[in-house]
Amino acid sequence: MSTQKLTHATEATNLADILERVLDKGIVIAGDIQIRIADIELLTIKIRLLVASVDKAMEIGINWWQTDGFLSSKAKEAEIEKENTELSKSLEKSGHKVESA
């Protein structure tokens, strides 16, 4: 006679609860990797990983994706505008006439 194990939906709920809690509270994983030969440090890699929801990240002051030109069209437009202003100033200093579009 074989026995069958009953699986409950609570197992799936536990995983969902854990994920929700991690995203809600956030979790930080940090580590350093150093390569040394005869007490001479050749390479140091510092790893910092933050796992959190966007809302939680913004709440603690992390919003780098809003200023990254590859992730935000507004940031890309701001970068282009800044670059255009700098180029215009450079051209004006060199004696060239700059016309606005």
pLDDT tens per residue, range 84-96: 889 888 888 888 7
Stronger pLDDT, 60 or 101, i.e. the higher one: 60
7 falls within a domain? no
**In terms of residue numbers, what domain contains 85?**
15-93
The structural domain count of the chain equals: 1
40 falls within a domain? yes
58 falls within a domain? yes
99 falls within a domain? no
Say which residues have a Cβ less than 8 Å from residue 53's Cβ, sequence separation at least 6: 23, 24, 26
Instruction: For residue 26, count other CB atoms closer than 10 A to its CB.
Output: 16
Cα–Cα distance for residue pair 99/84, rounded to 1 Å: 12
Global pTM value: 0.44
Say which residues have a Cβ less than 8 Å from residue 21's Cβ, sequence separation at least 6: none
6 falls within a domain? no
54 falls within a domain? yes
62 falls within a domain? yes
Asked whether the predicted pLDDT for residue 43 surpasses 90, the reply is yes
Tokens of 10: 């609570």
Cα–Cα distance for residue pair 56/67, rounded to 1 Å: 17
